[in-house]
Amino acid sequence: ESVLTQSPDTLSLSSGDRATLSCRASQIFNDNFFAWYQQKPGQAPRLLIYDTSRRAAGIPDRFSGGASETDFTLTISRLEPEDSAVYYCQQYGGSPLYTFGQGTKLEIK
């Protein structure tokens, strides 16, 4: 089973800052089968990024995804208060087919 390890566990930044969230995969099945989700309290997760770097419909261009070998990143530029949430990475292709990281909590000071 592929394990996804996200870092940091918690990130506290100010409005206008740039956030970089990381996700390391123990196994890679396809460089592009990688996604990111945002989850606010009491809400379902929302797809932000798929195919490693493609934004889902309606996602502002402040959100971007990238990769370097086994490390995948979600970058949020120009943080806004509504970006406070837990962010999950997800990989497709192993067993189980969909695996998630443990989440990074982003707090906007």
Partner 1 sequence: QVQLQESGPGLVKPSGTLSLTCAVSGVSISNSDWFSWVRQAPAKGLEWIGEIWHTGSTNYNPSLKSRVTISIDKSKNQFSLELKSVTAADTAVYYCVKNGWYSLDFWGRGTLATAS
Minimum Å gap between C-beta 70 and partner 1 is 17
Minimum Å gap between C-beta 95 and partner 1 is 6
How is residue 9 written in tokens? 């566990």
How is residue 45 written in tokens? 């997760």
Q: Assess 62 for contact with partner 1 (CB under 8 A).
A: no
- The rounded distance, in Å, linking the Cα atoms of 72 and 32 is 10
Q: Assess 35 for contact with partner 1 (CB under 8 A).
A: yes
Nearest to 82 by CA among 15, 28, 32, 22: 15
Phi, psi of 23 (to 5 degrees): -145, 120
Q: Assess 98 for contact with partner 1 (CB under 8 A).
A: yes
Interface contacts to partner 1, rule CB under 8 A: 30, 32-33, 35, 37, 43-47, 50-51, 54, 56, 88, 90, 92-93, 95-103
